[in-house]
Amino acid sequence: MGHTCVTATTSDEGAAVPVTIRDVARASGVHISTVSRTFSAPHLVNPETRVRVLACAEDLGYRPNRAARALITGRTHNIGLIIADIANPFFPPLIKAAESQARHRDYHVFVADTNEDPTAEEELVHALAKQVDGVLLCSPRMSNSLIEQLSREVPLVVVNRQVTGLPCVLMDVGQGARSAIEHLVGLGHRSIALLGGPRSSWTNREMRRAAGAAARAGGAELTMLGPNAPTEVGGSAVAEQVRRSGVSAVLAYNDLMAIGLIEGLDALGVRVPQEVSVVGVDDITLSRLTRPKLTTVATPTGAAGRTAVDMLLQQDIESPRGARGSGAGTALGVRRTTAQVMLQTDLVIRDSTGPGPYARPARPLAAPRGPGPHCPAGPGIPTAATGDAVAS
């Protein structure tokens, strides 16, 4: 069975007779338009009338029907947030930041998970299209052309993917991967593996590109492993492969995989960082709690969420879709300013990386840092897109 039914009763207390603006109007003896104005333009109604209407509304438990309102104003005050996989701890900070930012602007955020499935993604955009004022597409798995096509249906902002002609929020994982490789090379590693993530991930491509270049520049050999599922399981699954490959260091697609890999290596009796160094990407909270603490490329997820919301709302405000007053100007095409913002990443060095086979012996263990130390990623909200400036 698996479950026990505790109780099952049937009551017939009235199930919320929906109270409309008309009921309030009747109760307070005014026209419905006055009630409407009481809520959406209070300064236009006599204070005396206003309090009476408000009292009646309160009394009847009236709540404006947002769907009906949206039908005529063309704005729902909702934002859709489409995520590849909520189970990935990379996303919650982004979600929370987006929600908080949206709340300040009097917007609500609805999150939907696609299970890394491009088809679900597309369907979700369609479903959301008319119920939100815009959609944030995070780490999408569908094709760029499809994204462009969908963007004609509802305003879109893309996160973690570069789509020409669309506003994008990117994290500089290229720079991050480069720093990570340089860090490893500096520690004396010459044979490094890159644990790839999902094939359709833009981040994945960027990392391969940048890591490859950095390895060449540093005289190290880079082995590409993957694609893999971007999860702990995906990481621990390749532990054996990593051991056989004989590399002395690994850069993983994300922290989850890095942690999984460390666990997997441990199970095989391979010690981290003594025998193999591991670097992750994302700096999820967990990476500070595992043992050894994870060296990782910190991505500014919160800032990404905030920026994306800002960009969406900015783009949204100047083009009130579906409004009626479109006398003449609107029809001939709305100016849409599409900015692409790149957020910086930072290498955070902890305990999962150590000296490699080619380490210079004199190395003092404590603080061997190559490039600039990890400045605490300033949550500075980028003043995205200075408008129409052509020269950048």
Partner DNA sequence: CGTGGTGCTGCAAAGGTTTGCAATGAAGTA
Partner DNA sequence: TACTTCATTGCAAACCTTTGCAGCACCACG
Q: Cβ closer to DNA: 63 or 360?
A: 63
Q: Is the peptide bond before 292 cis (omega within 30 degrees of 0)?
A: yes
Question: Is residue 13 a contact residue for a copy of itself (CB under 8 A)?
Answer: yes
Question: Is residue 126 a contact residue for a copy of itself (CB under 8 A)?
Answer: yes
Residues near 339 by Cβ (< 8 Å), separated by ≥ 6? 167, 311, 384, 385
Strand partners, 90: none
Stretch that binds a copy of itself, among 28-36, 107-115, 136-144, 349-357 (CB under 8 A): 107-115
By three-state DSSP, how is residue 226 classified?
coil
Site for a copy of itself in 137-176 (CB under 8 A): 152-155, 165, 170, 172
To the nearest whole angstrom, how small is the minimum distance from the Cβ of residue 76 to DNA? Answer: 12
Give 371's DSSP letter.
Answer: S
- Three-class secondary structure assignment of 271-294: CCCCCCEEEEEECCHHHHCCCCCC
Q: Of 110, 213, 240, 241, which lies in the binding site for a copy of itself, with binding defined by CB under 8 A?
A: 110
Cβ(41)–Cβ(22) below 8 Å: no
Q: Cβ atoms within 10 A of the Cβ of 339, count?
A: 21
Stretch that binds DNA, among 13-21, 246-254, 267-275, 346-354 (CB under 7 A): 13-21
Question: Is residue 65 a contact residue for a copy of itself (CB under 8 A)?
Answer: yes
- In the stretch 225-264, what mask flags binding to a copy of itself with x, by CB under 8 A? -------xx--x----------------------xx--x-
Site for DNA in 64-93 (CB under 7 A): 64-65, 68-69, 71-73
Stretch that binds DNA, among 90-98, 177-185, 282-290, 320-328 (CB under 7 A): 320-328
Partner from a copy of itself, DNA, none binding residue 31, C-beta < 5-8 Å depending on class: DNA
Q: Of 152, 244, 324, 335, which lies in the binding site for DNA, with binding defined by CB under 7 A?
A: 324
Q: Cβ closer to a copy of itself: 49 or 131?
A: 131
Partner from DNA, a copy of itself, none binding residue 102, C-beta < 5-8 Å depending on class: none
Residues near 20 by Cβ (< 8 Å), separated by ≥ 6? 62, 65
Query: Rounded to the nearest 5°, which phi and psi values hold at 98?
Result: -60, -45
Sign, CA dihedral 175-177-180-186, equals: negative
Partner from a copy of itself, DNA, none binding residue 57, C-beta < 5-8 Å depending on class: none
- In the stretch 21-40, what mask flags binding to DNA with x, by CB under 7 A? xx------xxxxxx-xx-xx
Question: Is residue 9 a contact residue for a copy of itself (CB under 8 A)?
Answer: yes
Task: Choose among 259, 262, 288, 287: nearest CA to 275.
Answer: 262
For residue 267, what are the CA distances in angstroms to 239, 264, 299, 355, 390?
A: 9, 5, 29, 22, 55
What's the token pair of residue 28? 């307070």
CA distance 259 to 288: 11
Question: Is residue 92 a contact residue for a copy of itself (CB under 8 A)?
Answer: yes
To the nearest whole angstrom, how small is the minimum distance from the Cβ of residue 174 to a copy of itself? Answer: 12
Site for a copy of itself in 185-224 (CB under 8 A): none
Cβ(74)–Cβ(323) below 8 Å: yes
Question: Is residue 268 a contact residue for a copy of itself (CB under 8 A)?
Answer: no
Partner from a copy of itself, DNA, none binding residue 34, C-beta < 5-8 Å depending on class: DNA
To the nearest whole angstrom, how small is the minimum distance from the Cβ of residue 128 to DNA? Answer: 15
For residue 192, what are the CA distances in angstroms to 62, 221, 224?
A: 64, 6, 9
Dihedral, CA of residue 149, residue 155, residue 158 and residue 162, to nearest 10: 50
Residues at the site binding DNA, with contacts judged by CB under 7 A: 18, 20-22, 29-34, 36-37, 39-41, 44-49, 62-65, 68-69, 71-73, 322, 324-325
